[in-house]
């Protein structure tokens, strides 16, 4: 009786050890189809930005800087009087360059120093499209003599996101369904989803390169138009 019991125990231990030594069974591979869906949502911009500069030239650095400071202070004051808040006005560039005459360089002479050019650039960003024309008018009328661009954007990147992502996923599912049917299969559940895409901003709208303030400047007509937000999702679907 003891021999039978010992043999039974030995067999049970051997079976357990054999089961533990066997590698885990891998799940059967699943056929899949990978697609990318896209969608665009049209929104109305609610923020604008423009850059204006004041350039001055004088025989010395001190004269050029002092004159530039005076004119830039007048521009900033005019912007504030027109409704721009201090946090909406930012100095974006300040530079000093010597102005030289190279006409006699071919004769072996050194360039002749004519003076110095000082440039101070100001960027205005505001969440009120209707104020763009008035602020541009104020800046130009206060002494701005160079400008570089005007752009519009959507301040909240989440605006239109839910609609855009749903539409992009629906586009991906429609593509995957078509491919599955073409292969004689049916579409299964989504196994992996990767979000992509971004905002398709319109390029900055050019403004006049140099402005001559010989006469009063009227309010600049401004139209913001619309903006498209682009969304993409990559989805892996199972095939049945």
CATH of the domain at 92: 3.30.70.2970
The answer as to whether 238 is a domain residue is no
Number of domains in the chain: 1
User: Rounded to whole angstroms, how far apart are CA atoms 96 and 61?
Assistant: 8
Supply 105's token pair: 């360089």
The answer as to whether 64 is a domain residue is yes
Asked if 192 and 87 count as a contact pair (C-beta separation under 8 A), the reply is no
Is the model's pLDDT at 64 over the cut of 90?
yes
Q: Each residue of 85-130: pLDDT tens digit?
A: 999 999 999 999 999 888 777 777 778 889 999 999 999 999 989 8
The answer as to whether 62 is a domain residue is yes
Asked if 160 and 198 count as a contact pair (C-beta separation under 8 A), the reply is no
30 — pLDDT class (breaks 50, 70, 90): confident
Q: Each residue of 123-164: pLDDT tens digit?
A: 999 998 989 999 999 999 999 998 878 899 888 878 888 899
User: Rounded to whole angstroms, how far apart are CA atoms 66 and 72?
Assistant: 10
Q: Each residue of 177-230: pLDDT tens digit?
A: 999 999 999 999 999 999 986 555 554 444 444 444 445 667 777 777 778 889
The answer as to whether 23 is a domain residue is no
The answer as to whether 36 is a domain residue is no
The answer as to whether 124 is a domain residue is yes
The answer as to whether 16 is a domain residue is no
**Model's pTM, two decimal places?**
0.66
Asked if 39 and 161 count as a contact pair (C-beta separation under 8 A), the reply is no
**String of DSSP letters for 66-94:** HHHHHHHHHHHHHHHHTT--GGGEEEEEE
Asked if 187 and 101 count as a contact pair (C-beta separation under 8 A), the reply is no
Structure-token match 């398709």, residue found: 200
What CA–CA distances, in Å, run from 15 to 1, 3, 7, 80, 113? 21, 18, 12, 87, 97
Asked if 151 and 206 count as a contact pair (C-beta separation under 8 A), the reply is no
What residue numbers bound the domain in which 59 lies? 46-155
User: Rounded to whole angstroms, how far apart are CA atoms 102 and 95?
Assistant: 21
């Amino acid at each position: 009786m003891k021999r039978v019991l010992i043999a039974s125990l030995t067999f049970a231990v051997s079976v357990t050890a054999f089961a533990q030594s066997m590698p885990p069974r891998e799940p059967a591979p699943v056929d899949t189809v990978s697609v990318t869906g896209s969608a665009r949502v049209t929104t109305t911009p609610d923020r604008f930005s423009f850059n204006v500069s004041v350039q001055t030239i004088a025989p010395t650095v001190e004269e050029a800087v002092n004159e530039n400071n005076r004119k830039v202070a007048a521009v900033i004051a005019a912007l504030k009087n027109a409704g721009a808040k201090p946090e909406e006005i930012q100095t974006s560039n300040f530079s000093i360059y010597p102005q030289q005459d190279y006409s006699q360089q071919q004769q072996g002479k050194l360039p002749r120093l004519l003076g110095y050019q000082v440039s101070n650039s100001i960027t205005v960003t505001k969440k009120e499209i209707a104020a763009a024309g008035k602020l541009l008018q104020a800046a130009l009328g206060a002494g701005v003599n160079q400008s570089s661009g005007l752009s519009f954007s959507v301040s909240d990147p989440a605006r239109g996101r839910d609609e855009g992502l749903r539409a992009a996923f629906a586009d991906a599912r429609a593509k995957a369904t078509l491919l599955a049917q073409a292969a004689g299969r049916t579409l299964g559940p989504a196994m992996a989803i990767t979000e992509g895409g971004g905002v398709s901003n319109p390029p900055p709208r050019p403004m006049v390169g140099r402005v001559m303030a010989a006469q009063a400047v009227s309010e600049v007509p401004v139209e913001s138009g619309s903006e498209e937000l682009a969304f993409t999702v990559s989805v892996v679907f199972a095939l049945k």
